[in-house]
């Protein structure tokens, strides 16, 4: 692992603001260069074309991976949620944010551990591996062995990250406004407030330990899933210690035979349905790094419960109605439910009913097929995208669904993205009907 991945986390408000300013300046410079190039070739470029270039995507991913924190987290969300919207090359660049976080240098790590455990913290351990086994947007994970031989995974939060969340979200919002990608009529304030709330919850490791115990209890008798146990005496607001459960990256399943891929994805898809319709509680972050796979036995380790939250009854009911309409092959009921529950705005229906009905028809025909659903079959996506082009181009029709719906849909979409990567084949219609 290259030492180039070690980079001090900018913890101060001014240092983070400076980084955002550099990012904005780099994007603006890239837009100007692209504009000159296109004008010279006789094109009349649109603002979105100038902003969404591979060069600018590289600038964004590099800077956000250095910043870490809420800024990087928001970038990860975009990379997972926009897979069928952004061009493939941009999606691939943004996907780097899922595993490209830098590590804290040893001196900065030691300072954090001293602040949490005291200057003699090393005496508690037989061994503490200073090189992280994982790094993400809010913290990095180390493997350590206690004096009695107990092996732990210890998540250490980056310094200053919790205090920077609100400012980071505001700075990302400023970048979006600067780009003119969002219409002035689109009110994103409620979504930003909800994002700040959830990200602050994710930075609270005491809360995460409670969510981990909740899931360990919910899945206590499950034959597939394993959940770590928090180690309370070494845990706190900014450090979360837990028993170490070995496993490989979930992506390793991609190279396995079809039946093993189907079994793993089926378990994860069924977990989403159970969370929604049985638990009323969902871990809403489907980042692939939150799953580990054990080759022997085929069990799946669930990690990172910072984004676990209750699913409101009205959100559960919205999904129940949507699925019932889909299972009943009732496209009109499905469209009405999309409007009633806030997935789609009345303005969108009024201005783009033909396109909306076309998209619904394609999705129902594809998703409602009896037998095995082949996630590798993406032939319908281009058809849906063609119908959606008119809606995307009409900024007056843009609409933000309720925040609780967005968080649930993020988990649904992220799990589907994993299923696509694994080329899974599942009896999806039967699975949904059974859990409903």
Residues annotated catalytic, as ranges: 285
CA-based nearest residue to 104, from 143, 61, 74, 136: 136
Q: What is the DSSP string of 183-195?
A: -TT---HHHHHHH
Give dist(CA 313, CA 304) in Å, integer: 24
Give dist(CA 179, CA 31) in Å, integer: 10
Q: How many C-beta neighbours within 10 Å does residue 306 have?
A: 27
CA-based nearest residue to 241, from 128, 152, 148: 152
DSSP 230: B
Q: List CB contacts of 4: < 8 A, sequence separation 6 or more.
A: none
- How far, rounded to the nearest angstrom, does the alpha carbon of residue 196 sit from its chain's CA centroid? 15
DSSP 223: S
Cβ atoms 287, 295 nearer than 8 A: no
Tracing tokens 């409670």 back to the chain, one arrives at 210
SS3 35: helix
Strands 239-243 and 151-157: what pairing?
Answer: antiparallel
CA-based nearest residue to 113, from 240, 12, 239, 9: 239
| In 186-295, alpha helices (H) | 189-202, 205-218, 258-274
DSSP 166: H
| Phi, psi values for residue 125, rounded to 5° | -120, 140
- How far, rounded to the nearest angstrom, does the alpha carbon of residue 424 sit from its chain's CA centroid? 20
Give dist(CA 139, CA 21) in Å, integer: 24
CA atoms in the 13 A half-sphere facing the CB of 2: 6
Give dist(CA 24, CA 26) in Å, integer: 5
The H-or-E segment that residue 321 falls in is helix 313-327
Q: How many C-beta neighbours within 10 Å does residue 250 have?
A: 21
């Amino acid at each position: 692992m290259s030492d180039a991945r070690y980079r001090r986390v900018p913890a101060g408000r001014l240092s983070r603001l400076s980084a955002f300013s550099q990012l904005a300046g780099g994007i603006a410079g890239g837009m100007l260069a692209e504009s000159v190039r296109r004008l010279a070739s006789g094109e009349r470029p649109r603002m979105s074309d100038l902003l969404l270039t591979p060069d600018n995507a590289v600038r964004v991913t590099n800077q956000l991976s250095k910043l870490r924190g809420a800024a990087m987290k928001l970038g990860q969300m975009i990379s997972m949620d926009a897979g069928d919207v952004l061009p493939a090359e941009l999606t691939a660049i943004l996907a780097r944010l899922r595993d490209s976080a830098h590590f804290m240098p040893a001196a900065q790590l030691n300072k954090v551990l001293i602040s949490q455990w005291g200057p003699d913290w090393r005496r508690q351990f037989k061994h503490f591996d200073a090189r992280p086994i994982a790094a993400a947007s809010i913290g990095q994970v180390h493997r350590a062995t206690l004096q009695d031989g107990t092996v732990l995974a210890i998540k250490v939060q980056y310094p200053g990250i919790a205090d920077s969340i609100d400012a980071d979200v505001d700075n990302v919002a400023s970048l979006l406004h600067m780009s003119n990608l969002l219409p002035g009529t689109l009110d994103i304030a409620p979504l930003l407030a909800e994002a700040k709330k959830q990200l602050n919850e994710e930075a609270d490791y005491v809360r995460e330990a409670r969510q981990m115990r909740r899931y360990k209890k919910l899945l206590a008798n499950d034959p597939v899933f394993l959940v770590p146990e928090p180690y309370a005496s070494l845990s706190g607001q900014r450090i979360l210690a837990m028993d170490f459960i070995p496993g490989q990256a979930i992506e390793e399943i991609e190279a396995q035979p079809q039946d093993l891929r189907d079994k793993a994805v089926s378990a994860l898809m069924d977990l989403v349905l159970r969370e929604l319709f049985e638990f009323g509680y969902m871990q809403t972050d489907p980042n692939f790094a939150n799953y580990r796979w054990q080759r022997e036995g085929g069990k799946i380790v669930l990690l990172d419960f910072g984004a676990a939250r209750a699913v409101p009854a009205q959100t559960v009911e919205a999904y129940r109605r949507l699925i019932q309409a889909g299972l009943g092959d009732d496209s009109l009921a499905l469209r009405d439910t999309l409007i009633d529950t806030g997935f789609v705005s009345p303005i969108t229906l009024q201005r783009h009913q033909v396109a909306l009905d076309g998209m619904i028809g394609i999705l129902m025909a594809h998703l409602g097929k009896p037998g095995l659903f082949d996630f590798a079959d993406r032939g319908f996506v281009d058809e849906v995208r063609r119908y959606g082009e008119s809606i995307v181009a009409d900024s007056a029709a843009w609409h933000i669904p309720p925040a609780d719906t967005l968080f649930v849909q993020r988990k649904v979409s992220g799990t589907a993205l994993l299923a696509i990567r694994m080329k899974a084949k599942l009896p999806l219609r039967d699975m949904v009907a059974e859990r409903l």
